[in-house]
Amino acid sequence: MRSVTVLKTSAGLMMLGSICPWASLFGLASASGLAVYFGWVTLLAGVAILALTRRPGLVTRRRRRCAIALGVVGALVCGLVILGVSDSQDGAALQAGWGVYLTLIASISAGWSARSALA
C-alpha cells in the first residue's frame, strides 16, 4: 500500500507541476505548462494515473503498463520542453521554469513506483 501512496502523490505532483511555471523570460514573465500546451499532456497523464489507482484491488498487468507508459510520456514531454527552451533562439533570456522540473521528477517517480504499486 505504501507504493500506491507514492504513486498517487507522484500523480498529484504531476498535475500540480502542469499548472506551474514552465518557462520564464528574464525571470520576470512566466508561462504555465497549460499555456505551453505540453502541460495538458502531463495534466491528463496525472489524472489517468490517479484513475488507474482508484481501485488497487482490481490490478491487472494492463493497468501497470499503462501507468508506467504515462510516467514515461510525462518525462519525455518534460525533457522535450527543457531541451526546446535551452535551444531556443532567445538564448539566455528564456529559461525553463521550476514547474517543468517538478513535473519531470514526478513523472519519473510515477513510472518507477507503478512497477511495484500495481504489481
Mind listing the pLDDT tens digit for each residue in 62-87? 888 899 999 999 999 999 988 887 77
- Which of 95, 113, 116, 82 lies closest to 9 in space, CA to CA? 113
> Which residues form the domain of 63?
2-117
Give the whole-angstrom CA distance, residue 30 versus residue 105. 20
What pLDDT is attached to residue 10? 94
DSSP-derived secondary structure for 32-101:
EHHHHSHHHHHHHHHHHHHHHTS-TTS--HHHHHHHHHHHHHHHHHHHHHHHHHHTSTTGGGEEE-HHHH
The mean pLDDT value of the chain amounts to: 86
| pTM as predicted | 0.88
Total domains present in the chain = 1
What pLDDT is attached to residue 56? 63
What pLDDT is attached to residue 9? 94
What pLDDT is attached to residue 12? 95
Band of the pLDDT at 44, cuts 50, 70, 90? Answer: very high
| pLDDT at position 7 over 70 | yes
Band of the pLDDT at 119, cuts 50, 70, 90? Answer: low
What pLDDT is attached to residue 31? 84
CB-count burial class (<10 Å; 0-12, 13-18, 19+) for 26? exposed
Mean pLDDT of the region 9-18:
94
- Which of 57, 41, 59, 56 lies closest to 103 in space, CA to CA? 41
Q: Which residue has the higher pLDDT, 91 or 14?
A: 14
